[in-house]
Amino acid sequence: MTQNLSIYNSLTNTKELFKPLKEGYVGMYVCGPTVYSKVHLGNVRTFMSFDMIYRYFLHLGYKVRYVRNITDAGHLTDDAAEDKISTKARLEQLEPMEIVQKYTVDFHQILERFNFLPPSIEPTATGHILEQIEAIQTIINNGLAYVVNGSVYFDVLKYNEKEHYGILSKRNIEDAIENTRVLDGQSDKKNPQDFALWKRAEPEHIQRWKSPWGIGFPGWHLECTVMSTKYLGEAFDIHGGGMDLKFPHHECEIAQAVACHNTAPVKYWMHGNMLTLNGKKMAKSTGNNILPGEIFTGDNKNLSKGFSASVTRFFMMQAHYRSVLDFSNEALLAAEKGHQRLMDALNLIPKLSTSNKSTIEVNLWRDKCYQAMNDDFNTPILIAHLFDAVKFINLIHDGKEYITSEDLDLLIKTINAFVFDVLGLNNNAENSGQATTQLESVVNMFIEMRNAARADKDWALSDKIRDDLAAKGIYLKDGKEGTTFSLK
RNA sequence: GGCGUUGUGGCCGAGUGGCUAGGCUGGGCUCUGCAAAAGCUCCUACAGCGGUUCGAAUCCGCUCAACGCCUCCA
């Protein structure tokens, strides 16, 4: 089962059979958030894709070390020698680490709400300044970086003499040079393509550390190289991130790693695609975004109502992680109904009766689920198969198909594994054990009263009970084998 | 301007050189006191124009459109 998993590798632009560097183990690094503001739903999508991937590896029995960093040292902006975190800090009269703390907590709370598994290690850039300085020194020693006025730059042209800068993003440095815009304040660089490894801190700059080249702060590409190497080794299996990080960020990571260790750092590069809103990429800077909190409350001009975390997750899992997904209220409403249908079927499982023969091929169905996931984590196909199971369950419940207890066990085991362990969905209706049991007994009481009324053909009372319960979010359904209810 | 991706039925979204995606919506039927649910069923698409092929929506070319990266960005 684990042998035929194939992964689309952005480095080769092909699907490749996944073979871990060390049998049975997976090392995975994913670029985490810059904690200078609230994450928006687009950010969440990428992390969710890799959460699903992490979950599937675990499900297959791999020992996974999943590293996802927190960028708390800030990134350079193009027009000032200071970074986002420091800029915001001054505006709000807060310590940089106060901003970091605030938005790190926010990030964690959001992910927890969406039922994310925590990564194995969540290192911070500020916690690895020493390692970054060491790496810079190594690159300088290897002749691939130079020092100017207290800053250190990576010498892209020099690197490109022996290596290919652009191997991931499929660019040629020569083309890049021709098309580079002339930017102000880059006179320190030998070449516009060069990127900062260490940046001198201006006097007003708040985040600053001592280094052999003076007081400053690390360049934004370096932390990922240093932290991935430290926790996963000089070469590791999977590096993930959003499509928009491919260039320059990931390209620079490759160059830095090669410059340090003379070895390609990553075997499989994976890139999740963007979540768009109104056909455009979500971005903090343009205001074209939805915050996760707004999804829950519905407090956004693009939303007619709030949606649960699990519905949102289901919506995202209905698209392949490498496809652009467009967010819309209409799509969310559709996802909500589909999600409900899936959960209703799962709730029906305990009520199924078994037979001495099966009229459905559970083994075949199960294999199809694995085939879908093994084909580059194709969750939309998996979900299509899950709806086949929904149909099975409903038909068995209606007495139109039959299943043995062995097959039922397999069905339950498989569907639970995929719905809850791999896709990470929640079944809200069965969340709180005791409360649910008590609610169930009370609702069943009403159902009995209503059945008595129906037996007397007292439709007025019967309908009143149904309508009043519906008004409280409890919906009755009259099936062949009695009345059941669902919560909304 | 350079590099790249995409264009699928009312909507969202998979996939494929010839064979059902799936979800949502709408129509019909079964069931039902009614409704809901469930089941069955119908509406059967692949931007446009050429080319390759026995056969293309799937491969190639061009056109149009959209998006992403080239600057911080999931």
- pLDDT tens, residue by residue, A84-98: 677 666 666 567 888
Give the model's confidence band at A141: pLDDT under 50 very low, under 70 low, under 90 confident, else very high. Answer: very high
CA of A343 to C1' of B41 (A): 25
Q: Is omega for the bond preceding A192 within 30 degrees of 0, making it cis?
A: no
Q: At a CB cut-off of 8 Å and minimum separation 6, what does A34 contact?
A: A71, A72, A74, A75, A84, A85
- Secondary structure (H, E, C), A453-484: HHHCCCHHHHHHHHHHHHHCCEEEEEECCEEE
The set of residues, in sequence order, having a beta carbon less than 8 Å from that of A333 and lying 6+ positions away, is A304
Q: Please name the nucleotide lying closest to A44, CA to C1'.
A: B74
Could you tell me the strand order of the sheet in which A63-68 lies?
A63-68, A25-30, A236-242, A266-272
pLDDT at position A74, please? 67
Question: Residue A1's pLDDT is what?
Answer: 43
pLDDT at A76: 42
Task: Tell me what pLDDT residue A91 has.
Answer: 64
pLDDT digits (tens, 9 = 90+) for A400-429: 999 999 999 999 999 999 999 999 999 865
Which nucleotide shows the minimum CA-to-C1' distance to residue A400?
B39
pLDDT in tens, A439-487: 888 888 888 899 889 989 999 999 999 999 988 888 888 877 778 888 7
pLDDT higher than 80, residue A285:
no
Domain ranges of chain A: 6-272, 298-428, 432-487
Confidence of residue A173 (pLDDT cuts 50, 70, 90): confident
Q: What's the CA gap between A68 and A219, in Å, rounded?
A: 18
Predicted local distance difference test score (pLDDT) of residue A316: 96
Strand (E) or helix (H) holding A369? helix A362-374
Check residues A75 and A412 and name the one with the higher pLDDT: A412
Instruction: State the nearest residue by CA to the C1' of B39.
Output: A395
- CB-based contacts of A109: which residues, under 8 Å, 6+ apart? none
Mean confidence (pLDDT) of chain A: 89
Residue A93: predicted pLDDT = 59
Map tokens 């684990």 to a residue.
A2
In angstroms, the CA of A475 and the C1' of B38 are apart by 15
Nucleotide nearest to A459 (CA to C1'): B33
Predicted pLDDT of residue A80: 41
Q: Could you tell me which residues are beta bridge partners of residue A268?
A: A238
Which range has the worst mean pLDDT, A330-334, A339-343, A386-390, A473-477? A473-477
Nucleotide nearest to A387 (CA to C1'): B22
What span, in angstroms and rounded, lies between the C-alpha atoms of A329 and A298?
10
Q: How confident is the model at residue A2 (pLDDT cuts 50, 70, 90)?
A: very low
- Asked whether the beta carbons of A273 and A316 are under 8 A apart, the reply is no
pLDDT tens per residue, range A302-311: 899 999 999 9
Once rounded to an integer, what is the mean pLDDT over residues A70-83?
60
Chain A window 171-190: residues with CB closer than 7 Å to nucleic chain B are 171, 175-176, 179-181
Q: How far is the CA of A133 from the C1' of B52 (A)?
A: 58
Residue-level pLDDT at A177:
65
Yes or no: say if A209 and A217 are a contact pair by the CB < 8 Å rule.
yes
Q: Residue A78: is its pLDDT beyond 60?
A: no
Nearest nucleotide, CA A283 to C1' = B73
Which CATH number is A6-272's, of 3.40.50.1220, 3.40.50.620, 1.10.1420.10, 3.20.20.10?
Answer: 3.40.50.620
Read off the pLDDT of residues A250-266 as tens digits, 9 standing for 90 and up: 999 999 999 999 999 99
Task: Count the neighbouring beta carbons within 10 Å of the beta carbon of residue A95.
Answer: 12
Question: What is the architecture, at CATH level 2, of domain A298-428?
Answer: Orthogonal Bundle (1.10)
Give A70 CA → B14 C1' in Å. Answer: 34
- Scan residues 282-301 of chain A and list those with Cβ within 7 Å of strand B: 282-285
Nucleotide closest to residue A241 (CA–C1'): B74
Residue A123 has pLDDT above 90, yes or no: yes
Strand B lies under 7 A from the Cβ of residue A169: yes
The 10s digit of each residue's pLDDT in A187-218 is 688 888 899 999 998 877 778 899 999 999 99
Strand B, CB < 7 A, residues 411-470 of A = 454, 459, 462-463, 466
Whether any strand B atom is under 7 angstroms from the Cβ of A320: the reply reads yes
Check whether A77 has a pLDDT greater than 60: no
A47 CA – B73 C1', rounded, Å: 14
Spatial distance from the CA of A124 to the C1' of B4 (Å): 32
Give residue for tokens 């768009």. Answer: A276
Place A37 in a pLDDT band, splitting at 50, 70 and 90. Answer: confident
- Kindly report the number of other CB atoms within 10 A of residue A63's CB atom: 13
